[in-house]
Amino acid sequence: MTPPSSGTGQRGGGSAIRLRHRTVHGYRRAFRMAGKGRAILLIHGIGDSSDTWRDVMPGLARSYRVIAPDLLGHGASDKPRADYSLPAYANGMRDLLGVLGVERVTLVGHSLGGAVAMQFAYQFPERCERLVLVGTGGISHQVTPLLRAASLPGAELLLMALRLPTMRTQLGLAVKALRFLDTGLGVDAPDLLRVVDALPDGTSRSAFIRTLRAVVDWRGQVGTMLDRCYLAQGMPTMLVWGGRDQVVPATHAGLGHVAMPGSRLEIFEDAGHFPFRTDPQRFERVLRDFIATTEPAPYSAEQWRRLLRNRTPGPRPSTSRGAARASTDDPPALRPA
């Protein structure tokens, strides 16, 4: 995928969804924004950009203020030699929202963006209304061998080789074969190639490797949020996963669902790592329903202290207009008891 242009794109909520820029801490940050109302922040995955949300932004922007940034080191944002850790990305999201004058958001994070969303909710709970995790990283150490391999020395040379014409031809044939055989990896292969194509130069590839090595090594994901998931008590949370995800297996969805009290789970049976691209209409319906049936999370410094000390939230107002639930399409193993 080539970096998105700065011209007019899709339309939603009566305003053009175009690429905009703001300079924060001396770095140029790209983002898309459209619509009015309560804010939704869409955070993309590693190597991707805000353009990945193109199919869901117009519909959501008819009811909400939708903001989709290009993370630092990605898309049309600057790619400096900088800190690409999860806390740094969470700080960057806070600062961009501050520049835009947005106080609180419903966070929607995909893959690496899900880990950034969890880190944001952990660092700035007073800024977070709801949490939606889509095929998210940061729940378990397991991850596809492709990402583990990409974290090894020499990976930048391999990424450069993947863009050679002869290699692209071979990869194209391999993708066709994987799809013809109806493999799980074949479901995601076109999007994975799109991400590789979004790394056209050495600066982009270097930023990608720095970001990856901050969260993944040869053994898998470096850290997880499972030890802090109890802090999600009182935060309306939904996990959305592709049943055929080979990048972050759907078993992680069950782990996260159990670890996050009261969370909702939606499984897109035939989707891979990008369910919002496989079935954008269903994704929009699910997200709208989640927002409509939950109240924004209240924030209490005292409750936060109690959680940290005792892992018990104490008395708190209800955050849901309906019981948290798993999708009726969930396999039995992933439905709550």
Which positions are annotated as active-site residues? 111, 245, 273
| Three-state SS annotation for 138-191 | CCCCCCCHHHHHHCCCCHHHHHHHCCCHHHHHHHHHHHHHHHHCCCHHHHHHHH
Residues 6 or more apart whose CB falls under 8 angstroms from that of 326 comprise 257, 264, 265, 266, 267, 334, 335, 336
CA pair distance 336, 221, nearest whole angstrom: 26
Q: Cα dihedral sign for 295, 296, 297, 300?
A: negative
**314: Cα separation from own chain's centroid:** 30
DSSP conformational letter for 101? T
Backbone phi, then psi, for 331, in 5-degree steps?
Answer: -65, 150
Contact call for residues 191 and 274 (beta carbons, < 8 A): yes
Task: Please enumerate in sequence order all residues whose Cβ is within 8 A of that of 204, keeping only pairs 6 or more positions apart, or say none.
Answer: 73, 79, 198
Output the CA angle 252-191-210, nearest 5 degrees.
Answer: 70
d(C-alpha 20, C-alpha 30), whole Å:
6
